Amino acid sequence: MMASLLVMIGGFFGAICRYAVSRWAARRSPRFPLGTLIVNLLGSFLLGWLAGSGAADAEKLLVGTGFMGAFTTFSTFKWESVQMMQRKQQGKTRTYLVVVCSYLVVTYSFGVLLAWLGYHLGR
């Protein structure tokens, strides 16, 4: 019961923070999913740091599973990638394929790199 409560509390705050970052980023970059990129890269780093820090199980549930689970978003990342590819197919701009590929490469490669860095800094 306590584990579920920790995940729920963490998820509540993670979702609010994700929403705030997404709203902030949407005002600065309305056509590029900057908010999703920020939360996923920051989340990768922080989750790596948490894993390397030797945090207690309760902290891992609250911050790792709850907060980071709601803060980061794999499904939104995929959906926004598809939307960007659809814009390319509709002929709105010719550079969208390059932008989408760059977005995918940056998210995956820097996500893994930042998780690794966070892990080592957490130790």
The CA R_g of the chain, rounded to the nearest whole Å, is 16
Work out the pLDDT band at 88, boundaries 50, 70, 90: low
Is the pLDDT score of 22 beyond 90? yes
Q: What is the C-alpha separation between 114 and 111, in angstroms, rounded?
A: 5
- What does the CA dihedral 111, 114, 119, 123 come to, rounded to 10 degrees? -170
Give the separation between CA 29 and CA 96, rounded to whole angstroms.
15
Which residues contribute to the annotated binding site?
69, 72
Which residue ranges are tagged as binding site for Na(+)?
A: 69, 72
Q: What is the pLDDT of residues 64-80, one digit of tens each?
A: 999 999 999 888 898 88
Residue ranges per structural domain of the chain: 2-122
